[in-house]
Amino acid sequence: MKVNLSNYEKIGSYRNKKLHKRTHKKFRIVLITVIISLLLLLIFSPLNVLFDKMFLVEYLQKNQCCVIIPFIIVYTILTIIGIPGTVLTVAGGVVFGIWWGTLWSVIAATLGALGAFWTARYLLRDYIKHKFGRHKALTKFNQAVKDKPIAFVLAVRFAPISPFNVVNFLFGLTPIHWFYYTIATFFGIIPGTLAYTWLGTSGVEALEGGDRLPFFLALGLLTLLSLIPFCYRHKKR
Residue 117: predicted pLDDT = 93
Residue 61: predicted pLDDT = 64
Do 109 and 188 fall within a single domain?
A: yes
Residue 7 lies in domain: 1-44
Do 54 and 11 fall within a single domain?
A: no
Do 34 and 63 fall within a single domain?
A: no
229 vs 158: CA distance, rounded Å: 9
Share of the chain above pLDDT 70, in %: 60
pLDDT in tens, 31-90: 667 667 766 665 666 556 555 656 666 666 676 667 788 889 989 998 988 887 788 888
| pLDDT-derived band at 25, boundaries 50, 70, 90 | low
Do 86 and 35 fall within a single domain?
A: no
Do 107 and 34 fall within a single domain?
A: no
pLDDT in tens, 75-131: 999 898 888 778 888 888 888 888 999 999 999 999 999 999 998 888 877 777 777
Number of domains in the chain: 2
pLDDT in tens, 193-206: 888 888 878 876 66
Q: Where do the H-state alpha helices sit in 81-212?
A: 86-96, 98-118, 125-132, 136-147, 149-158, 164-172, 178-188, 190-207
163 vs 227: CA distance, rounded Å: 15
Do 82 and 146 fall within a single domain?
A: yes
Do 10 and 64 fall within a single domain?
A: no
Do 27 and 91 fall within a single domain?
A: no
Determine the distance from the C-alpha atom of residue 27 to the mean position of all C-alpha atoms in its chain, rounded to a whole number: 22
| pLDDT-derived band at 5, boundaries 50, 70, 90 | very low
Do 135 and 182 fall within a single domain?
A: yes
Do 13 and 87 fall within a single domain?
A: no
Do 160 and 184 fall within a single domain?
A: yes
Do 138 and 32 fall within a single domain?
A: no
How many Cβ atoms sit within 10 Å of the Cβ of residue 44?
Answer: 9
